[in-house]
A and B are shown apart, each in its own frame.
Chain A
């Protein structure tokens, strides 16, 4: 519920900074509205966006924790209850092929669990909007493709999304791993504090380049033109197969939401 009501500190700080920095007058008005939005959402306990997202839960479970009952069920029920009690819109439907209408309340979340040393459980909840997930892409590039090709692929994905992904954007990039893991790598990159650059110099360089090229597109806040198209890019890299270069870009709207708690 907190993730849906309270803007992340990095997101709010970057939105504030972006005002009057090169967007059009209508684009600046949009930025002002987004800053005001965070205040209203927090003070009235309203969700930041009507699309309260599709929830991904990253669970780090201490291997010394003893469970009484099903952990998976407890998390699913907890997410469902949060949406019900918190007046949040359930946007997840039962089955993508056969049931487009009935909301899924029993098992609404994707849960990724990792075992870690210790006896605590850390849950990170990330509700993500459909509009910006739709703008995301992945590709298995040739292993000899260089940084230029990676950058081109990502900038094209952002350009294709235009205003549909609710710019100003936060861009999560995964490079490496396998077909299935690279998407997760890109999604997890969105958990980073966007005021902090990547630790690895090579990833940092790609971030700087991507941010500058994306902002040169001129999409602007709400697609109304100007310099402020993305507020941050986070690149995460991984090992990969010698034959592969998986690249994924998980685009987040201005409403990049997540919250963590430890039990």
Chain B
């Protein structure tokens, strides 16, 4: 298993191949449907974003509430395809990596290639297990969205698979077969 740290640098991204199993540490930002809608709205209006996303990693997830004293509740990936309409704009803006589950549209795969970015997947449904790799979490923007707010997460070795690499190759069914 390859150990990588977010934000990912260009060399690391280029070294990742579809199908590689990796462990991700460092900082990532969560964003789901409503946060994507707002972020892209702001970008299209030419207004500043509440978090600087250039070079960063976005994790498609909305955590369960944390118990008192716990860092975070269960937290695992949500369906990436729902973010497809927004993803090319964010990649253009400078986002370099995304974490989610499931396939992406051909348009998104093209954008990933053009941006030299990478798409990683976590196991959907393993959210209690995946929570063990989150060492800190705080709301970074859009607090009014509840679980759909943007959280800054610090990860320690979150197990992921490279699903679409910077060359546009895919490890996901049906592209991989």
Residue A197 lies at the interface, judged by CB distance under 8 Å to chain B: no
How many chain A residues touch B (CB < 8 A): the figure is 44
- Interface positions, chain B 137-177, Cβ under 8 Å from A, are 144-148, 159, 161, 163, 171-174, 176-177
CB–CB B128/A47 < 8 A = yes
Query: 18 A-B Cβ contacts within 8 A?
Result: A26-B19, A34-B129, A46-B64, A47-B128, A50-B64, A50-B147, A101-B34, A101-B148, A162-B174, A163-B102, A163-B121, A163-B173, A164-B79, A218-B177, A221-B123, A222-B101, A222-B124, A225-B177
Chain A residues lying within 8 Å of B81, measured Cβ to Cβ, are 164
CB–CB B103/A47 < 8 A = no
Chain A residues lying within 8 Å of B62, measured Cβ to Cβ, are 50-51, 89, 91
CA distance A121 to B45 in the complex (A): 56
Query: Distance in Å from the Cβ of B175 to the closest Cβ of chain A?
Result: 10
Residue B127 lies at the interface, judged by CB distance under 8 Å to chain A: yes
Residue B116 lies at the interface, judged by CB distance under 8 Å to chain A: no
Residue A254 lies at the interface, judged by CB distance under 8 Å to chain B: yes
CA distance A222 to B177 in the complex (A): 15
Residue B87 lies at the interface, judged by CB distance under 8 Å to chain A: no
Question: Which of B73, B102, B103, B159 has the most chain A CB atoms closer than 10 A to its own CB?
Answer: B102
Query: Distance in Å from the Cβ of B108 to the closest Cβ of chain A?
Result: 14
Chain A residues lying within 8 Å of B78, measured Cβ to Cβ, are 51, 131
Chain B residues lying within 8 Å of A100, measured Cβ to Cβ, are 34
Query: Closest residue to A41 on the B side, CB-wise?
Result: B128
Known contacts A48-B74, A100-B34; A37/B127 CB under 8 A: yes
CB–CB B64/A33 < 8 A = no
